[in-house]
Amino acid sequence: MSLRGKRILVTRGEGQAEEFSAVIRKRGGVPVIFPTVRLVPPDDAGPLDEAIARLEAFDGVLFTSANAARFFFEHAEKRGVRKIPGGIRIASVGPGTTRELARHGSPVHLTAEKHTAEGLVEALADEGFAGKRFLLPRAQDGREVIPEEISRRGGTVDIVTVYRNGLPPRDEKAAGEIGESPPDVCTFASPSAFRNFFLLLGEECAASVLSRSRIAVIGDVTARAVRERNYPVDIMPETFTLAGMLEAIDAHFASPSRGGEAP
């Protein structure tokens, strides 16, 4: 395995860091846990409450992340709603999201083959959008691909924020260790995770770490955030999942042209 002995920075938040770290260990890598995001409920849950109260008004509910599914159902359950009414189509962006929906006892009628917003729109296209109304529970400041595409094709999308990215407390010990001995790969699954890396480590230390590590990201939006600060994106999987990221990292180090050497 090309990950054997490689130190992989895990910037995922509480709960998700453990899952990602376990997969890294199975592949022979060494996780370096340093959360740079903390997922928290929205400041104003009013719009979400209103959407939950009128679920029957929607033709479909679209979930673009496991986090969106988790926060949506946790909030709904607090309001006494334990499942989405029958007859409403539930669409998932990928297997991780589908597993989270199953954990809440929610059926999934459609899972996108390409695990992106574009892939979800493509998967829904066969069923048509004209005259239909969809609910999109998502992170604050999420991408506009889905609402724009569905609107363009004659449908309507109601967007509700179910969580936002907050800044976790700084782990002083981990920050010192990362600064002294940068990981082989720094992974980022969102623009917030990348931006908060600088806030938690400090500009100078973060820049030094990234200059001595490879940078792996999930998704075009995260890649754009990295490049906007003039850093290279060394690794980006075609499949936008954590498993896909690790496969891409593995392939990167297995490549004879790279030979596993430090950047």
263 with 213: CB under 8 angstroms? yes
Determine the average pLDDT of the residues in 18-26. 90
pLDDT of residue 243: 82
- Name which residue leads in pLDDT, 158 or 95: 158
pLDDT of residue 186: 98
Spell out the alpha helix ranges (H) of 37-107.
Answer: 46-53, 66-78, 95-103
User: Is the model's pLDDT at 263 over the cut of 70?
Assistant: no
Domains of the chain (ranges, CATH numbers):
7-37+167-254 (3.40.50.10090), 40-164 (3.40.50.10090)
Give SS3 for 217: strand
Determine the average pLDDT of the residues in 126-147. 93
Q: What is the mean pLDDT of the chain?
A: 92
pLDDT of residue 193: 94
Distance of CA 126 to the CA centre of its chain: 26
Determine the average pLDDT of the residues in 222-231. 95
Q: Give 170's pLDDT tier (boundaries 50, 70, 90).
A: very high
Give the model confidence (pLDDT) of 102-130 as tens digits.
999 999 999 998 888 899 999 999 999 99
Determine the average pLDDT of the residues in 56-74. 95
- Name which residue leads in pLDDT, 242 or 233: 233
